[in-house]
Structure 1
Amino acid sequence: MTSPRYIKIAMDLAERIYRGELAIGEKVRGRSTLAGQYGVSPETVRRATSLLSEMNVVKVYDKSGIYIESREQAYAFLQQYRTKQNFQEIREKIAKLQQKKQAIEKELNLYLDMYMEYAIGLEQHTTKDVLRYTLTQQSAIIGRSVASTQFWRHTNATILSVTRNAREFISPGPDFTFQVGDDITVVCEPEHKEKLTKFLAGGM
């Protein structure tokens, strides 16, 4: 996260005070001059010097100007705002890592479902249960991926392969997308054949 300009200006002034570039008791240039130096408005400079004044780094007098007051407080100011910046950066990194974690967990659950689907299919596999279907334009799964159709949950059938234009896709993964004319070979229990046929023909 990028800090506001007035905080950056306050930190720059505090850094210069701490390094001794601006001496204790020295008068800082006027707001208009500082505004021109930093390329900001006088109001932005006012907010920056107000921050420093609150921590007794400088003393602001309405008519006479801004005076350097404490090198020690300049250091304390720098430490405080650097700590805040580090805290914010860590919080943002945690948020990003949590998003990545959620994405990984989602993908992991997807593959676990696929694994269970194939495992159950292998256990139930018999020659008489191997069926083949050709997808038509009316099928509701055209243009959809294996994962998005939740194929096994809707049909209790496991896809063994898909043949497309003489090319065979063995155990297609979750991102595989169905197309018109695909020949799907599945393994299915006899009691689920009717449900499978209706699903492939058009209904989800």
Structure 2
Amino acid sequence: MDEKIKVTTPRYQQIAADVAAKIVEKHYKVGERIYTRSSLASQYGVSAETARRAISILADLRIVETVRGSGVTILSQEAAAQFVKQFRDIKSMSALKTEILQQLDKQMEDGKSLKNNISELMDRVERFKTINPFVPFEAIIQASSHCVGKTLSQVNFWHNTTATVIGIRHLDTLLMSPGPYAFLHEGDTIYFVGDDNSQIRVKEFIEITDLK
């Protein structure tokens, strides 16, 4: 069977990266007041909630500042540049991983090319660690887990495990940087980061069958 894994990035994160790129390219200058949520939603053809989440990312990273009724003000070109670089590195690594998996499905028809790709992936991972030194763990949601059919927010995932979910693989789709309203399903693989004991806490938490 020739399965292909699709790697998707949430729309709000794509919008945040696009706005940050415009700041880096000086389309918007530090101190300049730009969008309101409604105008951002209209420009990108998304809901107001999606626009709000995009702005929230930029505000959390101190790239912009939001003032109720006054729109969004640009704070830092340097912070925008750092975010854009990290966003592109993650997308580049995801694309490379997809390419490797496709080559494995073809039974390593070109062993030399695969070896080079793996070597390149390892090099990129090492470079990425210098920017974001988190090594993700993974766990599978079993049918008996109390998490099945619930969102990360509903199960208070972070509060119960202190681990941050950075990806969820559902069937043949990998969702990067899922928000609190992302659902967990039987058989999903969750990728998360945390301290050295987080892997044990997550395993014990998702194995609970009835959380009271």
TM-score (norm 1): 0.47
Q: Name whichever structure is richer in helix by fraction.
A: 1
The structure with more radius of gyration: 1
